[in-house]
Amino acid sequence: MKVYKFGGASVKNADGVRNLERILKNYTGGEKLVVVISAIGKTTNLLEQVLDAFYYDKSQMPDLVARLRENHYTIVRELELDDNSLIMNKLNGIFEELDELLSGPHSGNFDYDYDRVVSFGEILSTTLISTYLNLKGIKNEWADARLLIRTDHNYREGKVDWDESARLIQEKVGKILFENIADIVISQGFIGGTEEMLPTTLGREGSDYSAAIFAYVLNAESVTIWKDVPGLLNADPKFFPDAVKLDQISYEEAIELAYYGASVIHPKTLKPLQNKQIPLYVKPFMHPEESGSRIDAGKMKKHVPCYIFKTNQVLISIYPKDFSFIAVENLDEIFAVISKNKIKINLMQNSALSFSICCDNKVHKIERLIKDLSVKYRVKYNLNIELITIRHYTDDIVSKVVAKKDVLVEQRSRATVQLVTM
Ligand code: ASP
Ligand code: MG
């Protein structure tokens, strides 16, 4: 069996849904499939707004929910079925559940409510698509990932209980596929559930990870992520018009790229696949006949330089107030504050008198961090910084990239250079 994953962008409108249909019809070779689908288009962002309104400004809610409904109804209408009442009825049932949730008071636990509300996106998309495909003769079973991917209670960043998830997935999805109830199972990316069946989510953009979980547990032959790019590129074409496709890369290299922030694949996706040597394909959903990129255990023949640009960074430099040197005790204390504020460090560097970190500029988080650090340290920071990572660099490449930029910090290892610039 194989696992396919379709992201929100690939099913953002009726053409996308029809394209998914075409891919399932023409490119599966009769294979048994688990199809993991994200929320449609920008639905997750919209649901985040709904949740904000639920907490802070209820007057906004009706408009936002109306938009959510309309986005889904538009797709159903544009699919031009002779009779779409089955899909409409199912979607309406789900919207009623959402309305009911939102008509009550919130729980006071924002993250818990986040998962309850935001998980509706994937429930809506998969219900719409699964029902549509059945109507079009592509027989499939809808499976509820909230009952399959078991997580702890760490809402918004659920930690997967692999043993329990394996048991549940093998029991339910395995049964459908291997007892020939249907050849295709459609399930949701991004969402899971606790043992009390409370919905959880796996972190933004977590659908790739869901695909890897299903693949790992069911010993899939491969995973294919269908995307709106030709494959894995060596740079984001937004910053780098000359980006080229990487035909094959190793798991290790892909893990490195994801770690440094290449936004192609969710970082947690690769490790489980590597452990079972399940190849991962990244393919263009508009051109399914193309080869795309393949991530596998193979050694790479040659290394193409890869560029990862992270904008909206902040560089924070931390100095002991008494002008003493930075020592292990300071670092201990500084890390404790960073970890308490749940900040992810993208780069760090220490010198005799200061310790510097570069991280994403997440509005409230960074303010809080600086405030906490300022209790015992003198803190300086630069906003609007860029972090550039180049894998397999040459001096020539580095000088080209930093021409006309101020380099504030530079770090080199054999394979990677990182530059903090403005
Ligand atoms: N719908 C979720 C998000 O937008 C998960 C995903 O797309 O992978 O973050
Ligand atoms: Mg998405």
Query: What is the model's pLDDT at position 261?
Result: 84
- Give the CA angle between residues 212, 31, 278 to the nearest 5°: 30
Please, which residues have CB within 8 angstroms of residue 115's CB and are 6 or more apart in sequence? 155, 156, 158, 191, 198, 199, 200, 201
In this predicted model, what pLDDT tens digit does every residue of 345-383 receive, in sequence order? 999 999 888 999 999 998 789 999 999 999 999 999 999
Q: With helix as H, strand as E and coil as C, how does the chain read?
A: CEEEEECHHHHCCHHHHHHHHHHHHHCCCCCCEEEEECCCCCHHHHHHHHHHHHHHCHHHHHHHHHHHHHHHHHHHHHCCCCCCHHHHHHHHHHHHHHHHHHHCCCCCCHHHHHHHHHCHHHHHHHHHHHHHHHHCCCCCEECCHHHCCEECCCCCCCCECHHHHHHHHHHHHHHHHHCCCCCEEEEECCEEECCCCCEEECCCCCHHHHHHHHHHHCCCCEEEEEECCCCCECCCCCCCCCCCECCEEEHHHHHHHHHCCCCCCCHHHHHHHHHCCCCEEEEECCCCCCCCEEEECCCCCCCCCEEEEEEEEEEEEEEECCCCCCCHHHHHHHHHHHHHCCCCEEEEEECCCCEEEEEECCHHHHHHHHHHHHCCEEEEEEEEEEEEEEECCCHHHHHHHHCCCCEEEEEECCCEEEEEEC
Looking at the CA of residue 122, tell me the nearest atom of ligand 1. 1
Q: 177, 139 in Cβ contact below 8 A? A: no
Among all bound ligands, the one having the nearest atom to the CA of 202 is 1
Closest ligand (CA of 36): 1
Q: How far is the CA of 414 from the centre of ligand 2 (A)?
A: 34
Q: What is the pTM of this model?
A: 0.91
pLDDT value at position 275?
97
Lookup: tokens for 9:
């962008």
User: Which ligand approaches the C-alpha of residue 5 most closely?
Assistant: 1
Collect all residues with Cβ–Cβ distance below 8 Å to 252 and sequence separation of at least 6.
274
Write the residue with the smallest CA distance to atom 7 of ligand 1. Answer: 205
- Report the pLDDT value the prediction gives residue 301, as an integer from 0 to 100: 80
Pocket of ligand 1 (CB under 6 A): 7-8, 38-39, 44, 121, 189-190, 204-207
pLDDT score at 121: 98
Helix axes 85-103, 61-78, angle to 10 degrees: 170
Domains of the chain: 2-296 (3.40.1160.10), 306-421 (3.30.2130.10)
Task: Report the alpha-carbon distance of residue 74 to residue 16 in Å, rounded.
Answer: 13
Closest residue by Cα to atom 8, ligand 1, is 205
Q: Mind listing the pLDDT tens digit of every residue in the chain (422 residues)?
A: 999 999 999 999 999 999 999 999 987 777 899 999 999 999 999 999 999 999 999 999 999 999 999 999 999 999 999 999 999 999 999 999 999 999 999 999 999 999 999 999 999 999 999 999 999 999 999 999 999 999 999 999 999 999 999 999 999 999 999 999 999 999 999 999 999 999 999 999 999 999 999 999 999 999 999 998 899 999 988 888 889 999 999 999 999 998 888 877 888 999 999 999 999 999 999 999 999 999 999 988 888 999 999 999 999 999 999 888 888 889 999 999 999 999 999 999 998 889 999 999 987 899 999 999 999 999 999 999 999 999 999 999 999 999 999 999 999 999 999 999 99
Task: List, as ranges, residues with CB under 5 A of the ion ligand 2.
Answer: 8, 38
How big is the CA angle at 64 (ends 58 and 69), to the nearest 5 degrees?
130
Q: How far is the CA of 48 from the centre of ligand 2 (A)?
A: 13
> Is 140:130 a contact under the CB 8 Å cutoff?
yes
pLDDT of residue 327: 86
Tens of pLDDT along 215-254? 999 999 999 999 988 999 999 888 888 899 999 999 999 9
> Which atom of ligand 1 is found nearest the CA of 42?
4
Residue of 37, 40, 44 to test ligand 1 pocket, by largest number of atoms within 8 Å of CB: 44
Residue whose structure tokens are 């953009």: 205
| Closest to 32 (Cα-Cα) out of 142, 188, 140 | 140
Give the span between the Cα atoms of 238 and 267, in whole angstroms. Answer: 21
